[in-house]
Each structure stands twice: as C-alpha cells, then as structure tokens.
Structure 1
C-alpha cells in the first residue's frame, strides 16, 4: 500500500495524472461497445448522478445521431432515460460496460469513425486510462487514470487557401496557457530573471584563413553537360517555329470551322423548328377560320354574315342557270327555271325571317341600352384626391321608373287581370300629357283593354301590344314629354357633333364622318351608311369575308417587317375587293387560281412597301416563292412583267389619293 501511495504521489507531482478515481470515488467510467461487432468504441466518465438521457444527448451532439434512435443496454436490459448512472452495479474498478444499439438499421458507427471524430473535433470528452503499476508485495496494481485535455484551440477567424496546393492558412493565433510555477525555491518575479544578458561571439572566419569543404549535392541541383556549338540557321531548323505556327493555325482554323458549323447547324435546326411551328399555327388558324365561316353561315348575326349567305345563293343560282342551260331546252328548261325560282324564293324567305328576328333582338337591345343610360347615376372624379363621386338626380330616378314601366309591358307571365290593371295605370300616368303620341297611345290602350276583356287570344292583340311598346319608347325619347330625362344624353350628343359635319347628298342631313363609308379612292364623302343600305338592293351582295382576311394578312406581313408608314394600314376591305376584282379579276397572276380563299396580295417589289401599285395576287405557295426572289427579271419573262406593270400603273391612277398620303407618312 505504501508503494501504491508513493506511485500516486509521484504521478501527481509530475502532472501526468490529473485525477485518480477508484471504485469508491464519485466518477463512474463507462465503456461503450457496439452490439453488432462487440468492439469498444470509446470510454468516458460521468458523475454518479448523471442521467441516461444526458448521455444520449452527448452522443447525439458529438456523433450526429438522432436522440430517438439511440438505445443503451446494460446486459440485456434497456436503460430508461430517467435512470441515473450511479444506480447500476459496476465492476471492481468502477467501470460500467454499456452496449450501444441504434433503432434505425441504416445508422452505423465504427471505431474508425470515432477516431476520426476525435481527430477533427476538439476532444471535450476526457480520456480514461487503466494504468498497471507493478509492486513488490501485490504484483501488478491497476489504477484508473482520467486525463484532462487542457489544450488551447485556435479560434476560426477565416483565412486563405492556396489554389495550387490546396493548403489553408487561417487568420488565427493561440497563446500558451499560464506558466506552471514549480515550487523549487527560485524567485522568478525579479528583474534579473526577466532581463536577457548579451554576449559577443565571432561566427565568421578571418579573411586570411581558408576552409575546405566537401560538396554535398542537393535534389534541386541541375547538372549541365556541354554540347557542340549550334549556329542560328541550325537552331532555326531545329526549332521549326514557322512549321509550328502553321500547325497552330491549321488547328485553330479547324476548330473555328467546327464551331461555325455547329452554330449554323443549331441555327438551322432552330429555324426549321420555328418554320414547322409557324406552318402548324397557320394550319390551325386556317381551320379555325373555316369553322368560323361555317358558324357564321349557319348562325348569321350581322350584316356581313347575311351578305355571305346572299352571295352564296347568287353563286348557286348562276351555277344552276348554267347547268340548266346546258342540259335542258324547250318546256323542260322552263320547268327547271320555275323550280329554281321557287327554291331561290324559299331560301331568301328563310334568310329574311332569320334577319328580321335578329333585327328585332338588336332593336330590343338598343332600347334597353337607352333606358339604362338615362337611369344610370352621374359619375365623375373629384379634384380632391381624384375620389369617385356618384350623384343620383330626379331625372335618373324618373328614367328608372320609365324602364320598369317599359319592362312590365313586355312581361309574358302576367295574367289578363294584371295586364288590364297595368294598362289602366299607364293610362292614368299619361293623363296630364296632351301630345299626339299620348293621344294615339290612349287609343291603343283602350283597344287593348277591350280585347283583353272579351277574352281574345294572344294572336289578336299581339300587334297592338307591340305598337304600345314602340309608342311608349318614342314618347320617352321626346325631350318635351320626358320631363328632362334625356337632356343629359342630348347634351353629350351635341358635344360629339361639335366637330366637322358633312351633308349627305341623298338624305340631305348633317352627319359626322363616322356615318360615312370611306375608301382610298374617294376625294370627298357622298352618301352616308344609312342611304347606302337603302340603295344596296340595286347592287349584288358581296361576301367581304375572304377580302377581309387578305387585308389582315397584308397588315400582318407589313408589321412583321416594320413597315409602319405603309398605306396597307389605311386601305379598307372595299379597296382590297376593288384591287382583286377590277384589276386582277379575282385570279392569281401566275396560275389564274380563282379560289379567293387561297389568294394573297403580296409585294411585287419585295424591297418596297406594300401599296395598291406594288402588289399582285398569288396563292400561298406562289407568294412564299415570290418573296424569295431578289431580281425579278431573272425569273419572269418580259411579257408577264409588262402585263403586271400595266395593271400596277392603272392601280396607281385609281389610288392617286394614296400617293400624297404615303409621301406625308414617309416625311413624318
């Protein structure tokens, strides 16, 4: 025992052993084994009151293993998180052997991994050693030694990295710890112990003496062997600099050629892909246009749709007349013409019936729009913060009352008694009005009440009811009868007519420019749109749908080529029809294709902007080929070009008004 005590004191004096614990001490040494390999992972010591949960947290912190996946076993028993480490039975040396198990099979921990972690991570876990001390009386004596690591680690303050060698240089420093004083009786806190003493010593030999040394070769020395003399011409031949330059140029040109070919290949693929997409989109647009035309023919809604139907009937009639004239003669021909006339009358009657229905719907929508405009509150934005203001006047309230009265007349769900009461209220409302419209309205109301009282069917009084609606609407429009309801609309209308007005030669009325149909061949306005519709029956109906599409394609092409001053944005659909019908007779200039849906008006001279005197009709494929021509005389013969020039000169005469407009656009 005396030898053991002396050994322990010797360890404490030399500072090799920081702390010695035996079985009776407060510290408990824990050795961790892996269940699968039964290998020792690491060793640590804990106080006796340390919880198992704290041990798991330490393992989670140092080895990056989730807390929930850590299981500690002592033998076959699983340790709970609330257990203390001192509650378990240790061996004679105060060592507790615990098996480390992971609930997740993918988690693994080997002794090599622990050693690597100890190497790169500052070791905060103290090392525990079992030292065997030989004695004379007891033989070998085992002493448990816990070594504390008091190293001072450098803080990470950034640094630099050598890109060629990969060595990192940190901007950090480390100071040594305090000096451990040895109690040997020496006084170190003194001036003599802190002041170094200087000494003079000769290190170089005198000039009069010589020294002989043996040369020791180094690894970096370079041994030069003399060679024969080489002239400049021989050196130039040996180096062959021009040949090497030619080789470099050849390689560079080959690389440049490959790069250019690759770029052109990518550009070719890109353009081919774009061309395919454009063709697909063009095909889709053609299909949609065809479907739209079929829909407009089956369900016409505006004047253009009905003109399309009338044009179809006219073409069908001409084809039938031609067929009958070729196949029949005599009485059979007369009978066939009679059948054709009956079919034409039937078709026109059905179209007029649909047109009248749509016209009535449009008229009803106009009337509803009128009542909504007179009943809408006045709105404007104030000068203060641009706040919206809405004012409901007596006139707008009266306008809404008129609208309710007008809607009640057209209500089809009213019974006979309710209709009689309604007409009685309307007659009472107009009893103070003495205008001719009200007098006629009262007569119609009395007749309507008489028909309802006698139980007549709806077909007998439907016309009278419709006349009452029209007279009421006309009465509400009169400024002298509607109590100022339409005064605001009349003021807005007068304000819009402050601009230049034009007198129609047919109806002799002053109208704005919006009421006239204008084309590029006109020098002054003549007849308004209303009079044009009345005189339209004298001229055959023209289907402007394909010509509208031709004009749309022309504008699209000019916009894509940035021709913003082109007169294509000024001409109308009637001008395109005039060009196609009068100059080119509705045929292609090359193939004489007369299918107007397949024709396009393309530039004659590709380098100039589109105009009526710089265009010709071609099919889609012909137009694409024509636009790729750079010199026209190399492709077309003199006869064809002379015909084209004559027609273009005629177009320039007919559209002479556009020449001045084009010059103004180019100047601006």
Structure 2
C-alpha cells in the first residue's frame, strides 16, 4: 500500500508542476502587455512575492479541483481501497489543508483615512490578523502602529481578529475606516504622489487555467518612489511617442529572504591601484669629481636645531591660543563698553532734548499768556486780565488788613477800590476797541461761511466741492459788499460799484431796498458836486450797514438762513426757548452752557461772563488745556471713550482743586502748566474714579507700570482709592454720569 501511495503522490506532483507553469505563463501574458495603440505608455503592473505565491497557490488549488475526477479514475485502476482508519485521517487532513488554503487566499481591503477621506486599497491575506494589517499601513503612512484604529461598520475591530473571522470571504472586497487617536501629532496623510491618484491600486486579471476554464486573480500595483533607470527604447519620429523595453516596465524579481546576513566578496576585499607620476621639472645632481669642479660658494651649512617634544609644542600652542583669546576678549569688551557708552550718551541726549522741549513748551505758554495780557483779542484773554486783577486786589487787601488798623485801613481800602475801578474801566475801553477792530473780521467770516461750497471726500480720496444757485448768489453779494466797503477807490470806480449795487437791490421792491437806492442816489449826487471823501464816510457807512442787512435777509440771500441765530420758522422756537435768571430774557439753548448733568445753566453765557467779571474772576484757560489734552489722548487710545467728553471745564476744575488739591500726587508739584490727568490703571478707560494727577515727567513712567498695586506703597494706594471714592460719590449724583457709571461697572474690565 505504501508503494502505491508514493507512486500516486509523485504523479499528482508532476501534473501540478505542469499546470503551475502553464498558470504562471498565462499570468505573465496577462500582465506584460505591449504599449497602447495611441503611443502612450501602459503603467507597469508589479506583483509582490507574497501575493504571487498566494495567486499561484490559488491557481494550483483550482487545477487540483479540476483534475480530481481524472486522478480518481487513475487511482482506482491501480490502487485498492484503503482501510476505514486511513479514510478518517485523510478527511481530517483534507479539511485542514482546505482551511489553510482558504487562509492564504487574498481579499481586497479598501481603507478610508478619516477625516481626509483618502482611500488606500490593499490586497491582504484573510488569514492574517488586524495587527499585521496595521503594521503594513503604518509603514505605508509612516506613523506609529499604536495611533492607528480600524473600524468595520462603525465598530472598532480587535487586533487579534483576522479578516476571515470578520466574515470576509476569499477574493472579495471590503471597506474599512482608519483613524488616528492623536490627529494633532500624527495625522493620516497618504504619501502617494499626486500624479498617481488617478491610477487604480488593484486590478483583476482573468487567467485561463484550462481549456474553457478561466479564473479572476486580484493583482496589486506597486508604485515605487524612485525613478526607473532608462534602459533604452525607441521614439516615433512623427508623433514623438517613446517605446521602452520590457525591463523598464517591470522591476526585477526579489530574491527570497533566507534569514541569514550575506555579504558579497567585493565588500570583503580591498582593491589596490597603482599609478605612476612624473615630476613637471627634471632635477639632476652634480658632484665634484675628476675633471669636474663644482663651486661651493653658494652652499649653506645646515645644522639641526633644538628638539621640541610634543608636550612643549602643545604648551606653546596653548599659550598662543590664550594670548589670542585675551586680545579677542579685550576687543569684544571694548566694543561692548563703547556700545554702552553710545547708548548712555544717546539716552542722556534724549532726556536733555525732552527736558529742553518741556522748557520750551512752558516758555511758549508763558509767552502766549504774557502776549494775551498785553494785547487781548478774545473773550478768554479778558478773563485772564480780570483774573490777574483779582489776584492783585486780593494780595493788596491781605497786606492792608495785616499791616493797618482803623481809619488808615479804611482809607487804604478806599484807595484800593478806586484803583480797581480805574483798571476795570481801562479793561472795558480796551475791550470796546478790540470789538470795533474785530468787527470787519467778524463780518468777513460771516460772508465767507455763507458763500462756502459744499465739500466731501470722494471714493478715491479727492476733495469734491459743489456750488448751488444759492451759494453763487451769496458769493456775488459778498464780492459786492467787499467792493462797496472800499472807500479809497477813485470816483469812476466808486460810481460803478454804486450802480451795480443799485441794479442788484432793485430786483426786489421793499422799504429796505428803497432806502438803499435813496442813499446811493444821494452819494452820487454829492460826489458830482465835488464833496470831499472825508465828508462822505458817514453816508457810505450807512450804505454798507443797510446792504449788510439786505444780505442777512433770507428772502434776498437764501443761503444765509442757516447762519442766523434766530430761525425764520417760528415752530423751531417753540421748544427751544428758555428763561435766563440773570437778564430775564427768553433765549435759545445755544445761548446757555450745558453742564455734565445734561441740563442747561440757569443763566445765559453773557450773564455768566458778567458774573465772572464782577465776582469770582476765574480763568479757565489752564483747565481747558488739561481737558483738551485728556480728550485727545483718550480718543487715540479708545475711540469709544465716554467720560472725558461728558465732563466740562467746571468739572475738571473741581477734580483738580477739590480732590487733588491742585498738585501732583507723587512729587506735590503745583504748576498747572505741567500737570496732566492720566489713567490710574492703564488697562481700563479713563474716568474720575480711574485717574491720577501727575506732572508730564511722571506720566511716562506711570503708564509703563504693569500693576500699580505691586509698585506703589499701600498708604499711597489707599489715598488714591479714597479720592476715587469721593469722585464716584460726587459724579453719581448726576443722572447721565450715574448711568455711565453703572454700565462701566457691569462691563468687563480692560480695553
């Protein structure tokens, strides 16, 4: 029985070898196709060793199943039926062999990379575990195996399971999702070049195993990153298509790994090479001999010097290096010191420049203040004069009260009162003169405003001006008024201007125009009689006054209506008239001063100015400058700042004089020219309860502090907090400020 069994196995092996060779030839014919008909190159198809072995094994199994009837007939003719025990053993071995062959079969696994959505297709043996699939994918994606997580049908698969246990059948395809547990450090990105994205990863080859029998084999395509070497080929002269050899389209077959490190003989031997060299110049030596004399005049006697040991040479090199380093470090130190000296000089120069600039600014303010004393031109300048007068009167009165008693004191006070009255009268006369001199400027400004065109910025940034018919009318009247106001022109020009004015005003018939025409005729008549120009000044002034009244009438000059203090429409005066407690007149809201509470003062601006001249005689110029600078700085830091624009000059005066006592919080300087308001905590917006009064020199150092609570002493901080509480209590009585205070406290801190 054993001999017959050996004969049968030998026959089966020979048939399997023949069928295997035919199968491999069929696969080779299917894979190695020639170039396409259009001259394009067909992509190379490469089969890995494991996949090729699996494909061959599947082909052999199919051939064996096809030849089972023939083998059984041959065996039945030559072999006698085995015993029942041998039949059971053969059944178990056949079942085991069938399971092993099924485990070696491959299946197409499409792996979707989450969340990128890229798809990787791998031909994988269904008998291997998920852990081995992860290793293969980790090597392809160049990420650690631990971060990979595979899921099938939204369920995470375990690593010890195989594809067969998951229900995947041989030669089938499945879809699995793979994600990274650490996407930030190890994201999943395919390393395939973008030019290969359109090519398939796996193709199916139909192989003929027997006559009329075909089998579909799954072949995975490899795409090596290196460029294949060009081994020759052909190029079409007309189309330019290139045809390569078969060696270019297929990679050489890999040798199986035997598990032993093998080295070639070339890497174990040394190659020796000898090369002959010839000097560029031929050299010869001649010695003294019989019949030949060589002079020794130019000969040198060379004697050996002192022998230097390695330690001595090393010590000499070390000393030279130390010397070199000392000179280099000295040079570097000099450079660093020079840099520090230059920075110190630049810093001192900058500080000196800042100090000089502050001194110049202060001198400019004092010079401007002195100029306003000597030649006042504005209403604020006269407040400055009255303030100086009050200071002088207070000092004189204090000196009289401290040095004199009884009748002498009363006599001195009466003399002081007379001098004060004289000074007030002198200031009043100067004020009347100033108003007279400025009358022409005021009229000219009024006429220029009425004749000014509309202006706005275009989309390209250019300034656009537009004139209307009313603006043109106002401009003509302005030019005519300027011509009539010229009294130094000759007789012919004056008559021409008067005739032009007469034709202009005669367009509308009313009492005003008739008066102007009568005055023009009278002046022309007097000029023809030869009257002197000095005698006509009063008449000419009356003509200018009446014509100015004509210009200010909206019926004749419509564009002037927007500049008049009293509107022409009575409905506008209905809710805009208020009673002044000083002069008992009903005036518009523009004649009153608005306070921080949003309410108008009880007296108009004129009565307030008269009251200030008569009683307190305060000068608010310095407080206005402090408020103006505060608004500019807060506007640059935060364009939504609220509190600096709600406060008025009187509120700033209260903060400076009452709360901060008109001196710096740090050094106690009382020079109002050098004091400014800044934020206490720079991260919060300015407010009366988040401010501090400092000099200009201290402002920059204070604003550079990150945390004021860690810089200043607790006593100083406690005093500042007390002033802030007083300011909050004072301004919380004003409704508008109280509303802003509540919104400011509820808002998050910081800018």
Q: What is the TM-score normalised by the length of structure 2?
A: 0.42
Q: TM-score, normalised by structure 1?
A: 0.47
